């Protein structure tokens, strides 16, 4: 199945009140596991590569080319997304490489500067047919826009979308990045108000900290794209630790990365069910 546009996947899900799982890739095993999990769930999925992951690999190409190749070989619709990019140059490289979307994060800037920078990114990406996500909210604490007390104002969000032309908006409704516990308290009344005010799909960042039942409720309230990274890293790392603890002589990396890949695939399948992401019917079809 060919690589699928992020916009096609997300817009179709929003129209059908389904969620879309957007999971972060650090190693190739992550990409393989996420795709395997999506195939088992008969659901589309978004593979995300963050600016931090690019920095870890030293460049976008090594992990980007591998992830795009894995996506093109998938049996379900798969998009490849650049996550939390603050570098304009990196955005341009992702567009040239064939990524189907980018998330440009200028949320730490003053509002007017955020609008100006984001609008410039949107113009460049739309000229290449690439979908753009941006972020808006009150900056506070070391967690930035997604400190637990941060909230996005619906009127400001609607104005931001109109001024920038972005295709989706990440909003602050009670989550925080890199949470290791799943006890975040979501503001469902605010999600509903944002859904009514904002004409593009809403994105929930920091979803690793949200319990299953609240993730489902967030989709029901109007969230579409749901980003999950830390939770899957916990699953991956736990499986590696168990494999190594079970055999102190184990040195073949395939013998512990393989079980980790399988564990993540199983969890992705489960989470896609929680997000109501499964396509209707028995056969996965590309979103249109």
- Distance set, CA 100 to CA 41, 67, 196, 250 (Å): 22, 12, 27, 39
Contact between 195 and 158 under an 8 Å Cβ cutoff? The reply is no
What's the DSSP call for residue 115?
H
Closest CA to 268 of 6, 11, 5, 32: 32
Here the tokens at position 36 are 């395997």
Is 283 an active-site residue? no
Q: How far apart are CA 211 and CA 22, in angstroms?
A: 16
Tokens of 174: 């009670």
DSSP state at residue 9: H
Place of tokens 């490489």: 97
The dihedrals phi and psi of 100, each to the nearest 5 degrees, come to -90, -10
Residues 78 and 21 sit within 8 Å (Cβ to Cβ): no
- Burial label for 165, CB within 10 Å (0-12, 13-18, 19+), is middle
Query: CA-to-CA distance for 50 and 66, rounded, in angstroms?
Result: 15
- Cα–Cα separations (whole angstroms), residue 71 to 66, 76, 80, 275: 9, 9, 7, 21
The residue annotated as part of the active site, out of 83, 105, 143, 167, is 83
Catalytic amino acids? 83
């Amino acid at each position: 199945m060919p690589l699928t546009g992020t916009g096609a996947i997300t817009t179709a899900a929003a129209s059908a009140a389904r969620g879309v799982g957007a999971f972060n890739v650090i190693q190739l095993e992550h990409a393989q596991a996420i795709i395997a999990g999506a195939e088992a769930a008969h659901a589309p999925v978004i593979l995300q590569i963050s600016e931090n992951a690019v920095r870890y690999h030293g460049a976008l190409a090594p992990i980007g080319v591998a992830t795009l190749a894995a996506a093109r070989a998938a049996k379900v619709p798969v998009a490849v997304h650049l996550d939390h990019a603050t570098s304009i140059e990196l955005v341009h490289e992702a567009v040239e490489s064939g990524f189907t979307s980018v998330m440009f994060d200028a949320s730490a800037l003053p509002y007017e500067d955020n609008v100006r920078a984001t609008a410039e990114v949107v113009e460049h990406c739309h000229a290449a047919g690439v979908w753009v996500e941006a972020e808006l909210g009150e900056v506070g604490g070391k967690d930035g826009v997604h400190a637990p007390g941060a909230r996005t104002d619906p009127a400001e969000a609607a104005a931001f979308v109109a001024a920038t032309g972005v295709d989706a908006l990440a909003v602050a409704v009670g989550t925080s990045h890199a949470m290791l516990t799943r006890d975040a308290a979501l503001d469902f009344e605010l999600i509903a108000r944002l859904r009514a005010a904002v004409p593009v799909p809403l994105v929930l960042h920091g979803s690793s900290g949200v319990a299953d039942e609240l993730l489902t409720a967030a989709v029901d309230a109007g969230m579409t794209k749901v980003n999950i990274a830390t939770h899957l890293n916990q699953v991956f790392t736990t499986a590696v630790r168990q494999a190594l603890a079970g055999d102190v002589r184990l040195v073949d990396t395939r013998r512990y990365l393989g079980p980790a890949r399988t564990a993540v695939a199983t969890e992705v399948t489960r989470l896609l069910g929680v997000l109501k992401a499964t396509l209707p019917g028995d056969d996965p079809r590309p979103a249109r």
